[in-house]
Amino acid sequence: MRDMALLIDGKGIAEQVKEELKPRIAYLTAKGCQPGLAVVLVGDNPASQVYVRNKEKACEKLGIASWKYHLPADTPFAEVLQLVEDLNRNPQVHGILVQLPLPPQIPEREILYRISPDKDVDGFHPYNLGRLMIGDPLFLPCTPWGVQELLIRSKIEVEGKNVVIVGRSNIVGKPLAMLLVQKAKGANATVSLCHTRTPNLAEYTRKADILVAACGVPEMIHGDMVKEGVVVIDVGINKVGDRLVGDVEFEGVSRRASSITPVPGGVGPMTIAMLMANTVKAAERFYAQSAQEGEGRTGI
Ligand code: GUN
């Protein structure tokens, strides 16, 4: 039997990414522009509450200001919209994140489209997704960016490789395909975007040099669906009974893979690290803009 797969240490790499943000945060804070993130949570989805808590904790540890707006599940659409508008105008808030999913009375798109693209640290606004598509990204969605950083920092070559993504969500699958297909560092891959309705899915997944599972189906990818030596990135987080499992059947797949991310401790911490990076970037852009305006005023 061949050796077991190498575990890709998402938790450790996320710590490294966050560590690198510290001097940038310290600089901005010293200039009176402490980075700030507003998180909006509507309703009581238990998974969302855990995610939001983890985002707040990360802010706290890094010295990023954070504000949580936890609204009842039956909050009217107009009220959520008004909150987003207020946050757009608030100069202390550099990043706005509205946790998904939203309750049914709140149309997700109408909210996401109202977040200022300059504060869109989730990278979900069509402006930011469009910029990603044309190869001129501003804010990248956190999970796809986290997957790319995991690969780069684990020294896994992406250029020229067959990347197969299983899952076509707007949050992960579609933007990740766009990111890895770009003519850019850490990209230049040939990307196949598959999903749960792909006939003969295993024929695609077996061709993958790098396989990304982001379909939201617990343990859907089995050992017989991958080739020897594949790199496997598992984006899934599913609760099955009292176990947390990914979209990959870990035991079987890790026997064939050269490297694989664990769940938990793989992609999850990277998503949060990239959110912190986007928040710092949003604050830097805000600071640069206000410094420029300040110069303009003194010049008159
Ligand atoms: N729900 C699941 N993942 C995410 C995410 O990355 N951002 C937001 N806002 N909601 C989510």
pLDDT in tens, 277-286: 999 999 999 9
Mean pLDDT in residue range 210-224: 98
Question: Tokens standing for 8?
Answer: 């890709």
- Peptide bond before residue 101 is cis, with ω within 30 degrees of 0: yes
User: Which of 106, 122, 147, 172 is the best mutation target for the ligand 1 pocket, counting ligand atoms within 8 Å of the beta carbon and taking the most?
Assistant: 122
- Nearest residue (by CA) to ligand 1, atom 11, is 100
Q: How confident is the model at residue 106 (pLDDT cuts 50, 70, 90)?
A: very high
Q: Ligand 1, atom 2: nearest CA belongs to which residue?
A: 100
289 among known catalytic residues? no
Structure confidence at residue 190 (pLDDT): 98
The pLDDT, as a whole number, for residue 241 is 96
pTM: 0.97
Task: Give exposure, 142-174, as e/b (b: 16+ Cβ within 10 Å).
Answer: bbbbbbbbbbebbebebeebbbbbbbbbebbbb
What pLDDT, on a 0 to 100 scale, did the predictor assign at position 171?
A: 98
Concerning whether 122 is annotated as a catalytic residue, the answer is: yes
Sequence-distant (6+) residues with CB within 8 A of 256 are 5, 223, 226, 227, 228, 229, 230
- Residue 129 CA to ligand 1 centre (angstroms): 15
Average pLDDT over residues 60-65: 98
- Rounded Cα gap, residues 58 and 201, in angstroms: 37
CA of 143 to the centre of ligand 1 (A): 9
Mean pLDDT of all residues in 222-239: 98
Overall average pLDDT of the 184-194 stretch = 98
Ligand 1 geometric centre to CA of 184 (Å) = 26
- The pLDDT, as a whole number, for residue 125 is 98
Ligand 1 atom nearest the C-alpha of 100 is 10
Atom of ligand 1 nearest to the CA of 122: 7
For ligand 1, the distance from its centroid to the CA atom of residue 242, given in whole angstroms, is 22
Nearest to 164 by CA among 173, 156, 154: 173
User: pLDDT tens digits, residue range 15-39?
Assistant: 999 999 999 999 999 999 999 999 9
- Could you give the domains of the chain? 33-116 (3.40.50.10860), 141-268 (3.40.50.720)
Catalytic residue among 9, 118, 120, 122: 122
Please provide the average confidence, as pLDDT, over all residues in the chain.
97
Residue 298 has pLDDT above 80, yes or no: no
Report how far ligand 1's centroid is from the alpha carbon of 78 (Å).
Answer: 21
Long-range pairs for 127-131 at CB < 8 Å and ≥24 separation? 129/170, 129/175, 129/178
51 has a pLDDT exceeding 70: yes
For residues 29-51, give the mean pLDDT. Answer: 98
pLDDT at 174 over 90: yes
Active site annotation includes 174: no
Which of 55, 100, 112 to mutate for ligand 1's pocket (most ligand atoms within 8 Å of CB)?
100
Q: 294 falls in which pLDDT band (50, 70, 90)?
A: confident
Q: Say if residue 226's pLDDT is above 60.
A: yes
List ligand 1's pocket residues with C-beta within 6 A. 97-100, 122, 142-143, 171, 271
Instruction: Tell me which of 18, 99, 120, 281 is the catalytic residue.
Output: 99
| Residue labelled with tokens 């990307």 | 191
Closest by Cα among 11, 15, 14, 36 to 25: 36
Split at pLDDT 50, 70, 90, the class of 295 is confident
Set 18, 55, 161, 281: catalytic member: 55
Query: Residue 4 — very low, low, confident or very high, per pLDDT cuts 50/70/90?
Result: confident
Atom of ligand 1 at shortest range from CA of 275:
6
